A and B are shown apart, each in its own frame.
Chain A
């Protein structure tokens, strides 16, 4: 008389739908996050430095 299968399947569907909604929202936001990362990383740069290595190079070029 009792048939638990359909009920289980309905619950599984509802659980899946509940989990999928935030995942879809995260996917929609992800590209913006990536674009932000590019600009944030672009600011990082230690730039040219005066090191032992560069000093040796400039010394080697003075001839």
Chain B
């Protein structure tokens, strides 16, 4: 059943569950044939090896008001009805503005030639491909698999063994996370919880 633009595609990482196995990173690279030297997703760990260690998996967060879209001088970005931020590699000039604008460091650039020249930008597509025809060879070679067109969800989240990384319709994802917070009680260790409630370091 089509959700007809009522859904809002979102990623959510449960920092309490992430075990820094990097399966999401590997799954993404394999499923999308991501070029050498590029990771569309990566796991960030803070307080590594110390009490309070937390890890989160980071990629493009498909912002509602995406800064990459705002700064792109050649307007390569577009947003689907579900809020997935996609881009056209045919139009990209590799200027790198989106990389500077993105708070998550999502846009990545292949080292296309000598002297550090950049190739065309590559980033997480929420496994939704690009402007080419759905599931075509051209789409796969530029953007990777289009699992959304197949009625599936991003493989990184589907592969996550502890289901720390959630992806899909925002209301569905929030509902799952809400249930977890309720069952775990206060102080879930959710990202930003300490800052928001004045218990930093707790």
Contacts and interface: CB of A to CB of B under 8 A. Distances in A.
Given A45-B81, A47-B148, A57-B168, A62 B2 contact: no
Nearest to A45: B80
Given A38-B91, A45-B128, A57 B153 contact: yes
Nearest to B133: A41
Contacts of B4: 47
Interface magnitude class on chain B: 35 or more
Interface in A12-63: 34, 38-39, 41-42, 44-51, 53-54, 57-58, 60-63
Contact of A48 (B78, B82, B90, B179): B82
A53 B163 contact: no
A10 to B, nearest CB: 43
B16 interface: no
Nearest to B179: A62
Given A49-B2, A60-B163, A62-B176, A42 B78 contact: yes
Contacts of B78: 42
Contact of A54 (B132, B133, B168): B168
B7 A47 contact: yes
Interface of A: 34, 38-39, 41-42, 44-51, 53-54, 57-58, 60-63
Interface of B: 1-5, 7, 9, 78, 80-82, 84, 86, 88, 90-91, 128, 131-134, 148-149, 151-153, 157-158, 163, 166, 168-169, 172, 176, 179
